[in-house]
Structure 1
Amino acid sequence: MTIASRTVLITGTSSGFGEAAVHRFAAEGWNVIATMRNPSAAPAFPKNVLVMRLDVQDRSSAETAIAEGIAQFSAIDALVNNAGFGLHGFFETTPREKMLEQFEVNVFGLMDVTRAVLPLMRAQRHGVIVNVTSGAGVFGLPMISLYAASKFAVEGFSEALMHEVAPFGIAVKLVEPGGVRETRFGQRAGAEASGALDVADYAPLGERAAQVFAAISDSRSHGSSDEVADVIFAAATDGSKQLRYVATEGIKPWVEARRRDGEEAYIDMMRAAVGLGAL
């Protein structure tokens, strides 16, 4: 099968990494099923793009999008699970319903879309599943405990699933970006904030954490959505057994410290980064 005849389904394509990934795959001749919660707000996409409604909290919409994509393009060769949002706030003050929503979207929604496409890929005996996680799926920071928990869950799920589906010619990949400013991700994260700073005991740490997040986003090496889309495309097409791809330079020192240094050294470094050494 030539790349020009391949088809990818991407979730969360109304903006950010998802929108950029649509253009990246389409530019390489792929057929693209671009899905989002509200197709009426879809950006301008090339002609080889089919825009479909898919809300990861609505399993039937995933099944419909997959069925219509197959009807038009005959196959789905790659799935990019990009849809998600970040919940900011301290764990103690986060309402339980927001905790559930964080996992409904970032974990269970991703799993539902993956489950819906797996029978097709298994029958085809080929396919690639690219799950977009985050630096927060590698290291934890204050004020994103639930977001980090959801992304850690996707990392563990993906690593285990990789082994389950390998006998059927299906690959699983993880793309880990962080600190990209031009996406709308931060806007929703701010809107979803739980108001934790109303608890006076948490205020000093909250102020320090906000400075850390600002430094990550303001870094000259924070990357762009197009650069992340390039990594997503590479993960989907390189044919390697590589599982994890760090997509932005700015988070690489922390990722490398987490995976390379001893536990005590890593924790000391992270505590210093969020100013806990001064508390």
Structure 2
Amino acid sequence: MGKTILITGCSTGIGRMTTKYFHQKGWNVVATVRSNLEKDEELNALENVLVVTLDVTKEESIKEAVTTAIDWFGKIDVLVNNAGYGAYGLLESTPEKAIKMQFDVNVLGTLLVSKHVIPHMRKEGEGTIINISSMGGKITFPLGTLYHGSKFAVEGMSEALSFELEALGIKLKMIEPGMINTNFEKTVMRNLYFDLSLQEYGEFVQRVLSGMKYIGSSRSEPIIVAEKIFEAATDGKKQLRYIAGPDAEEIITTRKQLDDDAYMAIMKQQMGL
């Protein structure tokens, strides 16, 4: 029946493009969405693409989706933990609920979906788990305490998990995209936490937001990430990290060459701080 990939977060952006890309390559795809799967006419119309409801914050939903995928296609060869979003803003202004949700989706969701796919791969003696990190898991921008914290967590837990999975014949890999032309920025603006009454932050926030527009002016298309995911899924290498996008290549390479003080000085300069 060919190989099967399960991808979380396929409603938009990277997940949706990756679904279509793997479908074009002849794979079986389990495309998971949080809700309204019956309305997704585009994905439902694709042969050998199964659209399934999966909410990464609800363990029962994860169990049901994984079981359905295995029952339908017989095997999960590759898992892509793509579901995630960015919450930016001042920590002082951010509600506890929003703090928990950022980590529930980006961190705990990745862990729980992996936890429920690993037993299947362990029995098969093979498989690949690909976690979508970010260049934001290697560097930070101001106002990104929550988002960068969650992606740094993805980097650390993925690296650590790779040791135990290697003993089972399972590969673990990470994709580190740069700025991608998706609805990420709109989501960030919807989740931008800034209390106008905290006037002491006012000038700082305005400068950061202006600087963000400059930094984010050059974006890659989601196909860049889909192609990198396909490479990671099929190259047979034990390589842990894959960078996606020229901006990510440049920024991550530069960060490796700088100490903390030098990096933060450059970031402040770019932000006009």
Common topology (TM > 0.5): yes
Name the amino acid aligned to 1:37. R
1:20-39: CA deviations, max 9, x gaps?
00011111111000001011
Alpha-carbon distance in 2 for matches of 1:118, 1:127: 9
Structure 2 match to 1:55? 55
The runs of 5 or more residues in structure 2 that have no matched partner are none
| Alpha-carbon distance change, 43 to 81 in structure 1, aligned in 2, over 3 angstroms | farther
Structure 1 match to 2:28? 31
Cα distance, 1:257 vs structure 2: 1.9
Alpha-carbon distance in 1 for matches of 2:270, 2:193: 23
Q: Is the CA contact (8 Å cut-off) linking 1:89 and 1:196 kept in structure 2?
A: no
Alpha-carbon distance in 2 for matches of 1:50, 1:136: 31
Alpha-carbon distance in 2 for matches of 1:272, 1:120: 49
Structure 2 match to 1:211? 210
Alpha-carbon distance in 2 for matches of 1:213, 1:153: 23
Structure 2 match to 1:237? 234
Q: Is the CA contact (8 Å cut-off) linking 1:90 and 1:142 kept in structure 2?
A: no
Alpha-carbon distance in 2 for matches of 1:226, 1:48: 20
Where 1:241 maps in the other structure, the secondary structure is coil
Where 1:160 maps in the other structure, the secondary structure is helix
Alpha-carbon distance in 1 for matches of 2:80, 2:68: 17
Structure 2 match to 1:78? 78
1:35-92: CA deviations, max 9, x gaps?
0101134251221100000000111111111111111111000000000111011112
Where 1:52 maps in the other structure, the secondary structure is strand
Where 2:89 maps in the other structure, the secondary structure is coil
The runs of 5 or more residues in structure 1 that have no matched partner are none
Q: Percent identity?
A: 39
Does residue 190 in structure 1 map to residue 203 in structure 2?
A: no
Q: Counterparts in 2 of 1:54-133, with a 5 A limit?
A: 54-133=54-133
Q: Is the CA contact (8 Å cut-off) linking 2:19 and 2:29 kept in structure 1?
A: yes
1:153-199: CA deviations, max 9, x gaps?
00000000011100111111111112223x12222222122234542
For residue 38 of structure 2, the aligned residue among 27, 40, 43 is 40
Where 2:79 maps in the other structure, the secondary structure is strand
Alpha-carbon distance in 2 for matches of 1:196, 1:149: 21
Where 2:42 maps in the other structure, the secondary structure is coil
Cα distance, 1:239 vs structure 2: 1.1
Q: Is the CA contact (8 Å cut-off) linking 1:11 and 1:36 kept in structure 2?
A: yes
Does residue 17 in structure 1 map to residue 19 in structure 2?
A: no
Where 1:20 maps in the other structure, the secondary structure is helix
Alpha-carbon distance in 2 for matches of 1:234, 1:216: 27
Q: Is the CA contact (8 Å cut-off) linking 1:131 and 1:173 kept in structure 2?
A: yes
1:215-256: CA deviations, max 9, x gaps?
23321xx21011111111111111112111111112332211
Does residue 149 in structure 1 map to residue 149 in structure 2?
A: yes
Kindly report the root-mean-square deviation, in angstroms, between the aligned alpha carbons of the 2 structures. Answer: 1.5
Structure 2 match to 1:5? 2
Instruction: Count residues in correspondence.
Output: 270
| Alpha-carbon distance change, 197 to 159 in structure 1, aligned in 2, over 3 angstroms | farther
Where 1:140 maps in the other structure, the secondary structure is coil
| Alpha-carbon distance change, 24 to 164 in structure 1, aligned in 2, over 3 angstroms | same
Alpha-carbon distance in 1 for matches of 2:90, 2:223: 31
Alpha-carbon distance in 1 for matches of 2:250, 2:266: 11
Q: So what's the TM-score if we normalise by structure 1?
A: 0.92
Q: Is the CA contact (8 Å cut-off) linking 1:14 and 1:41 kept in structure 2?
A: no
Mean Cα deviation higher: 18-27 or 240-249: 240-249
Name the amino acid aligned to 1:174. M
Cα distance, 1:212 vs structure 2: 2.7
